[in-house]
Structure 1
Amino acid sequence: MEDFHVHSNYSDGEFLEGMVRAAEAADLDGVGFADHCNVAPRDRMEWVRSVYGFNLDLTYERRRRALERLREEASIQVYDAVEMDYDPRDEEAIREFLEEAGFDYAIGSVHEVAGANVQVASQFTDRPEAERDRIVDEYFDRLVALIESELFDVAAHVDLLERTRPLRGRATRDHYRRVARALADSRTVPEINAGRALTDASVVHPAEAFLEVLREHDVAVTVGTDSHAPGEIGDRAEFLSEFFDEWGLEPVDPPALE
């Protein structure tokens, strides 16, 4: 098994070498570094970039040189990838950057809706029920737009809002069917993501009901631990291996690698 979604010190994870060594120790066949990147010109996103360092567009060449050196010593495949924040307003800028950078593959993700990060529960706790439902609708609208853009090989954690208690459980099978239909008509594949699987929340992306809908539409899936530290890779990889066996799934590579 390969892990196509980990982070490094080039965004919000730990050092590259330690992550590669942990992937080797977990007996993975490959590991893909998909550090966060945002190319939006708007003030809030500029703030996010400066505070969190989600600026791989400025550092990818330096990271690439480091990855090339690590490949010389690594016993597994090491991939040079990116996780891009998606907003429909940024499609042209994203396209230009991806064409310029030439990553092995690109992951797209939706983290923000209506100026709010869908993982931050405090931003939704005091909102009325109807407004929370509207946020969920907008999240899936944006996810479908991400898929239809054909900019990305992989759609990350396709029900990210399940991590957030005020939004959890509000998605419907109609939401899931819209996404599944879009994926069935796209080269983009969703991932089975273990980023919160071994926490108290026990959230696997996509949720069981969502995964059932994806299977009904014959949508293939790929795999990512979404690890940010070396100590996370082994346990999450083992979990995902068991998960795929339990569901009878055979993960595919991101399309750009096929």
Structure 2
Amino acid sequence: MKFDLHTHHYRCGHADGTIEQYIQAGIEAGLHAIGISDHSPYFAHKDEQPFPKIAMARSELKNYVDEVLRLKAKYEGKIDVLLGMESDYFPDHVEVYRQAYAPYPFDYLIGSVHQTRGVSIFNKNRWKSLNAEQQIDEKRHYYELIAQSARTGLFHILGHIDAMKGYYPPFADIAADDAVEEALRVIAECGVAIEINTSGKMKDVGGWYPSDAMLERAYHYGVDVTFGSDSHVPSRVGDDWELVRQRLKEIGFKHWVYFKNKERITVAL
């Protein structure tokens, strides 16, 4: 059973290709299931589309859902098309997002922390003026937000949980292991899965999210894992799937999961 739950398309403003092109790429890659999971609109912002290069407009949500459902029916029997969304996590707006999603038949929601203290996690300039103590505080804050996102009960999967290292590889070495451990403990307690996201290979860090060390701790706490390429071009659908499967087996995982109709489905590795 081969699946990829994290893909994007043109609506977010920074990915190439249509949803159908990602589905066709999934078929070519031998996937049995593909999740369409574009970036959520900024539901709590006063503007319709405040950041056109980051996320879709609010008015596009229904069009997005309708298109995925239409293609789900079109490709039935060839590949299982799953309706997902990569949702931003903003602590002050959880209920706004929950209400926005409620009318739609999502198979799953990925919760991702993309900003801390109003700054993108991928902005490496944020680290320039911080001393060692401040860097530790920043990393702790990031993992506190991740733990909070698990507690909301809104998300089935947490996205790229060490992606702050993407354009700042030294992030991985900042000494805040207790915050990481606590986040993983909470994720396990809440029954939320984490993804192995292979898009980190496209950034300065040059590797997957999360690190092997973090996956080992996730295994220790009994956290379920899933797979997402985080494709922003159709050619990356399913990227490194077999390598990830082998790595998880080496760490000790016996299975991984995907979600359909908000139900967790376990697949042997």
**TM-score with structure 1 length normalisation?**
0.89
Question: Deviations along 1:13-61, whole A, 9 cap, x unmatched?
Answer: 2211111111111101111011111435357xx5973332513642122
Aligned twin of 2:267? none
**CA shift digits 1:190-222 (9 cap, x unpaired):** 111111136662322111111111111111111
With 57-66 and 202-211 compared, the bigger mean Cα shift is at 57-66
Partner AA of 1:62 in structure 2: N
Match of 1:223 in 2: 227
SS at match of 1:65: helix
SS in 2 for 1:49: coil
Q: Identify if the C-alpha distance between structure 1 residues 54 and 177 changes in structure 2 by more than 3 Å, giving closer, same or farther.
A: same
Is 1:209–2:210 an aligned residue pair? Answer: no
Structure 2 CA distance for aligned equivalents of residues 141 and 220 of structure 1: 19
**Structure 1 position 254 matched with structure 2 position 255:** no
Other-structure match for 1:32? 35
Identity %: 24
Is 1:61 aligned with 2:62?
A: yes
1:103 to 103, 106, 120: 106
* TM-score, scaled relative to structure 2: 0.86
Letter aligned with residue 251 of structure 1: W
List gaps (5 residues or longer) in structure 1. none
Separation in 1 of the partners of 2:166 and 2:175?
12
Which residue number in structure 1 is paired with residue 173 of structure 2?
169
Deviation at 1:121, TM superposition (A): 0.9
Is there any run of 5+ residues in structure 2 with no aligned partner, and where? Answer: 265-269
* Deviation at residue 84 of structure 1 after TM alignment: 0.8
Which residue number corresponds to residue 17 of structure 1?
Answer: 20
Which region of structure 1 is more displaced relative to structure 2, 107-116 or 34-43?
A: 34-43
Structure 1 window deviating more from structure 2 (125-134 vs 99-108): it is 125-134
Aligned positions of 1:95-174 closer than 5 A: 95-165=98-168, 167-170=171-174, 172-174=176-178
In the alignment, residue 183 of structure 2 is paired with which amino acid? V
The alpha-carbon distance between structure 1 residues 142 and 200, as it changes in their structure 2 partners (threshold 3 A), is closer
Distance 1:125 1:15 in 2: 38
Contact 1:35 1:56 in 2 (8 A): no
Q: C-alpha distance in 2, partners of 1:47/1:77? A: 32
8 Å CA contact retained: 2:216, 2:251: no
**Structure 1, 214-223 or 200-209: larger mean CA deviation:** 200-209
1:254–1:174 Cα change, 3 Å: farther
2-side partners of 1:70 and 1:47: how far apart?
A: 26
Deviations 1:88-146 (A, max 9, x none): 10111011112123311111000111111111112322333332222111101111100
Counterpart Cα distance in 2 of 1:16 and 1:110: 24
Give the alignment of 1:173-188 within 5 angstroms. 173-188=177-192
Q: Is the 8 A contact 2:167 2:205 kept in 1?
A: no
- For 1:102, the aligned partner's letter is P
Tell me the secondary structure at the aligned position of residue 222 of structure 1.
strand
In 2: Cα distance, 1:47 partner to 1:200 partner: 32
1:4 CA drift (Å): 0.8
Structure 1 residue 234: deviation in Å? 4.2
CA contact (8 A) 1:153 1:188 kept: yes
Q: Tell me which residue corresponds to 2:83.
A: 80
The 10-residue stretch of structure 1 (98-107 or 2-11) with the greater mean CA deviation from structure 2: 98-107
Q: Distance in 1 between matches of 2:49 and 2:62?
A: 21
Contact 1:26/1:237 (8 A) holds in 2:
no
Q: 1:193 aligns with which of 175, 194, 197?
A: 197
Say what the alpha-carbon RMSD is for the aligned residues.
2.3
Aligned residues: 256
